[in-house]
């Protein structure tokens, strides 16, 4: 026997189709109502037709097409539903225009010049509505213009009377309004799905945090504590365990915020907190700090370069502290260490020797962002000594001001 394969979970429906599904169902009800109006109009107008039998045949075709198109357009879980809808909407326009011109086959000039065409304006609006939902306001307006042009051409009203007829304004207005409504529904669906994803990510992050805390983090913390107590060769193992503990905690806390929403900006905080270690302490606002992707990466790289200098020149026991401030007008990032500091003139001397690490990796990056980088104090003996040992870089990067409706920054 052939083993039966698991089909797996059902495929997630197309977000666009899910967003516009209520609109498609609603307009199909409108389609059936307009069909009843068209049939009533046929009953009232058939005595004035020159070919009454053909008019009833055309009305029957209109009814059949209304039923078929209503069923196909109201379904959004069937396979290839976008292609089917596109084909039906295009067919809708072909049927409507063909029936409009067929009015000349069943009535004389005196009748069709002063009355509605065989498919009434109300029923012909279904093609405009479908185009608006499928292609947006531009598609709806173009469809309205096309149907209105067909009506005016059939009735031979290319004169002053066309501007007093309500056909074109009604069809264009319907196409514009339904197109805007469809776009609004799509945006609402995207926001809903984004909120659902964020909620699911937060729940998963909390679940993983509990499991990791109960297992891995406790073990790493124990290894760090016991290795430090034992000393000797195990001290290095304790240090590595402590570094991995901090990195794992940062990974868990930033798991939800690291997701890129695909917008023009990203949160600067995760890029900075990812650089935290047992000797590097990061402090950021409690609210997101949005910044352009390139600007955020460059600013984070400048901080990483400053921290690399701390590791290389401040000594093995030095600690570093990074503070991010968002004043609204600019971002201020302070990178401070408690090492021996930088001797006065040492940076200029290194640059003169061709060592461009600070001038390019730090000062150059901040200058490229339109900001400034200042070394606030140096080693004892310098002219700017007020704070004691260590060194502190301050990066100032201008940014567009925050809106008045934005909430105040919270700090963690």
- Condensed to tens digits (0 to 9), the pLDDT of residues 212-246 reads 666 676 777 778 778 877 877 787 787 777 777 77
Same domain, 166 and 35: yes
* Alpha carbons 34 and 88: distance in angstroms, whole number: 18
Q: Note whether residue 69 is domain-resident.
A: yes
Q: Note whether residue 275 is domain-resident.
A: yes
Residue 131 near residue 142 (C-beta atoms within 8 A): yes
Higher pLDDT, 401 or 124: 124
The arithmetic mean of pLDDT across residues 286-309, rounded, is 86
pLDDT of residue 412: 44
Q: Note whether residue 407 is domain-resident.
A: yes
Same domain, 174 and 287: no
- Output the pTM of the full model: 0.53
Same domain, 278 and 181: no
Question: How many distinct structural domains can be found in the chain?
Answer: 2
Same domain, 101 and 180: yes
* Alpha carbons 354 and 135: distance in angstroms, whole number: 60
pLDDT digits (tens, 9 = 90+) for 101-125: 998 898 888 787 778 888 888 899 9
* Alpha carbons 334 and 327: distance in angstroms, whole number: 14
Same domain, 163 and 75: yes
Cβ atoms within 10 Å, residue 405: 5
The arithmetic mean of pLDDT across residues 44-67, rounded, is 91
Same domain, 54 and 180: yes
Same domain, 122 and 267: no
pLDDT digits (tens, 9 = 90+) for 309-336: 887 777 777 888 999 999 888 999 999 8
pLDDT of residue 405: 44
Q: For residue 192, give Cα distances in angstroms to 11, 179, 200.
A: 18, 20, 12
> CATH no. for residue 396?
3.30.565.10
Q: Note whether residue 232 is domain-resident.
A: no
pLDDT of residue 9: 43
Q: Note whether residue 201 is domain-resident.
A: no
- % pLDDT > 90, the chain: 16
* Alpha carbons 168 and 93: distance in angstroms, whole number: 16
The arithmetic mean of pLDDT across residues 145-158, rounded, is 85
Of 236, 246, 238, 325, the residue nearest 279 (C-alpha) = 246
The arithmetic mean of pLDDT across residues 302-313, rounded, is 82
**Mean pLDDT across the chain:** 78
Same domain, 174 and 288: no
Higher pLDDT, 346 or 70: 70
String of DSSP letters for 145-163: HHHHHHHHHHHT-TTGGGG
pLDDT of residue 343: 63
* Alpha carbons 210 and 206: distance in angstroms, whole number: 6
* Alpha carbons 377 and 270: distance in angstroms, whole number: 28
Same domain, 299 and 402: yes
Same domain, 299 and 175: no
pLDDT of residue 307: 85
Q: Is the pLDDT of residue 249 over 60?
A: yes
Q: Note whether residue 154 is domain-resident.
A: yes
Q: Note whether residue 301 is domain-resident.
A: yes
* Alpha carbons 263 and 258: distance in angstroms, whole number: 13
Q: State the Rg of the chain over Cα.
A: 35
Same domain, 118 and 19: yes
Element of type H or E holding 321: strand 320-326
Same domain, 38 and 182: yes
pLDDT digits (tens, 9 = 90+) for 189-199: 888 888 888 78
pLDDT of residue 166: 73
What range does the domain containing 155 cover? 15-191
* Alpha carbons 371 and 192: distance in angstroms, whole number: 38
Query: What confidence category does residue 90 fall into, taking pLDDT thresholds of 50, 70 and 90?
Result: very high
Q: Note whether residue 205 is domain-resident.
A: no
């Amino acid at each position: 026997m052939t083993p039966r394969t698991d089909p797996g979970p059902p495929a997630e429906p197309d977000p666009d189709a899910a967003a516009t599904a209520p609109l498609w169902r609603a307009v199909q009800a409108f389609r059936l109502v307009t069909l009843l109006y068209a049939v009533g109009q046929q009953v009232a107008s058939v005595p004035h037709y020159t070919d009454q039998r053909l008019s009833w045949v055309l009305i029957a075709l209109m009814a059949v097409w209304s039923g078929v198109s209503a069923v196909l357009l109201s379904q959004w879980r069937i396979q290839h539903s976008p292609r089917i809808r596109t084909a039906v909407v295009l067919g809708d326009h072909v049927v409507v225009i063909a029936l409009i011109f067929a009015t000349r086959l069943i009535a004389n000039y005196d009748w069709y010049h002063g009355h509605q065409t065989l498919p009434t304006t109300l029923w012909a609006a279904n093609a405009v509505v479908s185009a608006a939902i499928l292609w947006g306001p531009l598609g709806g307006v173009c469809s309205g213009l096309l149907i209105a042009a067909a009506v005016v051409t059939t009735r031979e009203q290319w004169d002053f009377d066309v501007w007093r007829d309500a056909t074109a304004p009604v069809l264009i207005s319907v196409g514009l309004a339904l197109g805007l409504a469809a776009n609004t529904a799509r945006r609402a669906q995207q926001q809903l799905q984004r909120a659902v994803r964020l909620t699911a990510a937060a729940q998963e992050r909390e679940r993983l945090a509990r499991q990791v805390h109960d297992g891995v983090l406790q073990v790493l913390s124990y290894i760090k504590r016991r290795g430090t107590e034992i000393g000797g060769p195990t001290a290095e193992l304790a240090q590595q365990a402590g570094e991995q503990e901090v990195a794992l905690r940062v990974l868990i806390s930033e798991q939800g915020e690291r997701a890129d929403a695909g917008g023009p900006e990203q949160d600067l905080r995760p890029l900075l907190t990812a650089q935290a270690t047992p000797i590097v302490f990061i402090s950021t606002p409690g609210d997101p700090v949005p910044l352009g992707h390139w600007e955020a990466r460059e600013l984070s790289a400048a901080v990483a370069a400053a921290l690399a200098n701390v590791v290389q020149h401040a000594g093995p026991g030095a600690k570093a502290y990074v503070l991010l401030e968002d004043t609204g007008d600019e971002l201020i990032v302070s990178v401070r260490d408690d090492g021996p500091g930088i001797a006065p003139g040492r940076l200029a001397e290194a640059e003169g020797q061709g060592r461009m690490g600070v001038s390019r990796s730090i000062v150059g990056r901040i200058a490229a962002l339109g900001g400034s980088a200042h070394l606030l104090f140096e080693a004892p003996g310098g002219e700017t000594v007020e704070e004691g040992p260590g060194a502190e870089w301050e990066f100032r990067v201008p940014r567009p001001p925050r809106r008045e409706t934005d909430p105040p920054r919270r700090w963690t």
